């Protein structure tokens, strides 16, 4: 009877543990910035899943330790050794199989979500070398591998600014996205390695010079967000940001029609920082990239001009 009651208590504790760990996993959603894309929902679901597992493991181990301290304490002046567990085949199998299954499960969940994020470019081109070829041949990904998107925006990044080109060849230093529509961002780094990162989008993607990186994003919440370069790319790195405006389709189309009529000057804060006298006690003589001068944005440009840059 005592053993049966013990099993009942353990089962009840596991049930309570499942409920509590699930609650902590749901609470983890509030630890992150607001979800602004459909992709963010997938990433947050994985984060909540991992938080629930971590809470279950930690609380389970603490419960086992507390249970052992209360019910299996050695009597006073009892210095004999406990029951050896090294030769227990069942126990060895349990603590080997359980972490293995858990790790494989987490890996599957992570890989499944990564496959749904629609990031192409780094493995989009396969290099094929043959002994008779002096130059490598390239096999590009077929068009049917690219899921259809309602809009495509070209993203150009360099030290020290972001430039965006829209379907009607309007260029801007702000990223405008229509809400609830899949938008493909075709990203190009024009000098060094950069990283596209919007915290509310939960997407952080390296942009490699010489490669076209396609990133699909589906905004679900209107508002203004901040695009950052999540990769240290040299002096004035902190100034590598841009405004991201998620708006309704009507507002997006209205902005496109107005943008080509109102050219504006791109304010590059790096230029102001570069022209200021250095505020240091000694010269480091480190090489610093001179920022590009202010350019005109919201202006219709020919595609050939942008490609040549």
Per residue in 164-218, pLDDT (tens digit) is: 999 888 888 899 999 999 999 999 998 888 999 999 998 888 999 988 888 889 9
Classify domain 148-277+290-308 at the CATH topology level.
Immunoglobulin-like (2.60.40)
Q: Residue 34 in 3-state DSSP?
A: coil
pTM assigned to the model:
0.69
Per residue in 245-274, pLDDT (tens digit) is: 999 999 999 988 887 666 555 566 666 666
Which regions of the chain carry the CATH code 2.60.40.420? 148-277+290-308
């Amino acid at each position: 009877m005592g053993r049966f009651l013990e099993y009942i208590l353990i089962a009840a504790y596991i049930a309570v543990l499942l409920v509590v760990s699930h609650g902590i996993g749901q609470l983890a959603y509030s630890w992150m910035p607001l979800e602004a894309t459909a992709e963010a929902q997938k990433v947050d679901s994985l984060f909540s899943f991992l938080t629930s597992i971590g809470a279950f493991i930690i609380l389970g181990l603490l419960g086992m330790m507390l249970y052992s301290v209360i019910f299996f304490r050695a009597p006073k002046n009892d210095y004999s050794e406990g029951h050896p567990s090294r030769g227990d085949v069942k126990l060895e199998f349990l603590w080997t199989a359980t972490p293995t299954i858990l790790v494989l499960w987490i890996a599957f969940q992570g890989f499944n979500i990564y496959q749904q994020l629609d990031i192409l470019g780094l493995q989009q081109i396969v290099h094929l070398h043959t002994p008779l070829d002096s130059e490598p041949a390239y096999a590009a990904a077929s068009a049917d591998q690219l899921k259809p998107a309602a809009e495509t925006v070209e993203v150009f990044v360099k030290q020290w600014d972001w430039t965006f080109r829209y379907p009607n060849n309007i260029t801007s230093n702000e990223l405008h996205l229509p809400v609830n529509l899949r938008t493909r961002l075709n990203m190009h780094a024009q000098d060094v390695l950069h990283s596209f990162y919007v915290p509310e989008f939960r997407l952080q993607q390296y942009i490699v010079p010489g490669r076209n990186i396609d990133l699909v994003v589906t905004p679900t919440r209107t508002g203004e967000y901040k695009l950052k370069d999540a990769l240290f790319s040299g002096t004035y790195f902190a100034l590598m940001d841009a405004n991201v405006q998620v708006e309704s389709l009507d507002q997006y189309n209205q902005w496109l029609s107005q943008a080509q009529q109102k050219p504006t000057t791109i304010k590059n804060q790096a230029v102001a920082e570069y022209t200021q006298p250095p505020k240091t006690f000694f010269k480091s003589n480190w090489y610093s990239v001179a920022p590009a001068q202010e350019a005109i944005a919201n202006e219709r440009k020919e595609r050939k001009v942008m490609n040549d840059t």
